[in-house]
């Protein structure tokens, strides 16, 4: 059957590199009978990926997928003794604005502009949480510093004439801590500074002491309406989503999510599934029932 015109495009995160992800994504396309439009990748500033892997990104593009790079200012292995990964002063927002990483940012801006087509760039995601060094309530940061850092990075891309980068601003569906001054809107850099709006959210089911089973609408409804009011007309994506198995019926959850996307969340143009067994088994194929539901309700057969 033909996919309804209002159904958003599908993206996927696979724990693969630029070389292996396209091949695995094609396997998922055959398995699901659904076209995958976006392949998601994560790049930490503290990694060796400077300059960006243009050959790898070009292979993704030539395979028919649009890469989305979640660009993370931190060093994954540089966790301070006795502290969490969010406490990395070398990657505070003030340090970014202070110019320490100008050369790195400029190199990326120049190199990404050499690609044959635009890519999504999602810098400093989930900034309204408290688990990354760029979040607004940790590491000496404030939400206003996030806005400054975003505008600063984008100004460098503009200075070098980059036109091959689509900027995705992507908070979490709810703020942690949920308190005045740490709301989603406190981090918005302005309609002229973002190209797409993104949201991350998960159904953790009963896998944690603090979690319970939530439907897709329960997770995204409030933040979605806030985002569409914040920047009317901007395209919206679900940049990360997944569902646990424990606590409910994952297959039914996927079916209901598909219906909600077509009827309630009509401004959402893409949904990127976080397809990895990590904190939970978020994968589409975590069970036969989950896989069957996804193939049935996202099929373009």
Question: How does pLDDT run across 163-204, given as a tens digit for each residue?
Answer: 999 999 999 999 999 999 999 999 999 999 999 999 999 999
Q: How confident is the model at residue 48 (pLDDT cuts 50, 70, 90)?
A: low
Mean pLDDT of 4-26: 86
Query: Which is more confident, 163 or 78?
Result: 163
The pTM assigned to this predicted structure is 0.94
> Do residues 91 and 146 make contact, with C-beta atoms less than 8 angstroms apart?
no
Any domain includes 183 = yes
Any domain includes 4 = no
Query: Could you tell me where the DSSP H helices lie in 113-161?
Result: 143-159
**pLDDT confidence of residue 47:** 77
Any domain includes 1 = no
Q: How confident is the model at residue 299 (pLDDT cuts 50, 70, 90)?
A: low
Any domain includes 3 = no
**pLDDT confidence of residue 78:** 65
Mean pLDDT of 39-58: 89
Residue 97 has pLDDT above 90, yes or no: yes
Domain holding 18: CATH number? 3.20.20.80
Any domain includes 69 = yes
Mean of pLDDT over the chain:
93
Q: How confident is the model at residue 79 (pLDDT cuts 50, 70, 90)?
A: low
**pLDDT confidence of residue 65:** 97
**pLDDT confidence of residue 2:** 34
Mean pLDDT of 209-213: 96
Q: How far is CA 282 from CA 44, 74, 170, in A?
A: 22, 24, 20
Mean pLDDT of 106-112: 96
**pLDDT confidence of residue 80:** 63
Alpha carbon of residue 174 to chain centroid: 15
Whether residue 169 has a cis bond before it, omega within 30° of 0: no
Tally of domains in the chain = 1
Residue 137 has pLDDT above 60, yes or no: yes
What percent of the chain has pLDDT above 90? 89
Q: How far is CA 207 from CA 14, 210, 211, 299, in A?
A: 22, 9, 7, 29
- Domain containing 120: what range? 9-297
Rounded Cα distance, 25 and 141, in Å: 37
């Amino acid at each position: 059957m033909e996919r309804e015109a209002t159904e958003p495009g599908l993206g996927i995160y696979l724990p693969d590199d630029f070389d292996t992800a396209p091949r695995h994504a094609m396997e998922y396309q055959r398995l699901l009978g659904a076209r995958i439009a976006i392949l998601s990748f994560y790049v930490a500033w503290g990694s060796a990926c400077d300059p960006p892997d243009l050959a790898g990104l070009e292979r993704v593009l030539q395979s028919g997928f649009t890469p989305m790079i979640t660009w993370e200012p931190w060093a994954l292995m540089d966790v301070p003794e006795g502290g969490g990964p969010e406490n990395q002063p070398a990657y505070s927002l003030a340090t970014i604005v202070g110019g320490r990483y100008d050369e790195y940012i400029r190199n990326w801006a120049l190199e990404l502009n050499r690609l044959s087509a635009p890519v999504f760039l999602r810098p400093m995601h989930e900034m309204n949480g408290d688990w990354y060094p760029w979040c607004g309530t940790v590491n000496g940061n404030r939400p206003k510093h996030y806005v400054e850092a975003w505008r600063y990075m984008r100004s460098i891309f503009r200075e070098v004439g980059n036109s091959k980068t689509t900027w995705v601003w992507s908070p979490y569906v709810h703020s942690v801590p949920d308190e005045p001054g740490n709301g989603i809107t406190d981090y918005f850099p302005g309609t002229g500074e973002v190209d797409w709006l993104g949201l991350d959210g998960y159904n953790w089911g009963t896998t944690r002491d603090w979690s319970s089973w939530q439907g897709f609408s329960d997770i995204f409804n409030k933040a979605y309406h806030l985002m569409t009011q914040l920047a009317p007309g901007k395209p919206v994506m679900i940049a990360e989503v997944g569902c646990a198995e424990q606590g409910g019926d994952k297959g039914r959850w996927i079916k209901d999510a598909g219906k909600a996307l077509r009827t309630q969340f009509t401004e959402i143009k893409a949904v990127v599934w976080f397809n990895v067994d990590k904190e939970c088994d978020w994968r589409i194929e975590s069970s036969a029932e989950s896989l069957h539901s996804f193939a049935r309700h996202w099929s373009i057969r």
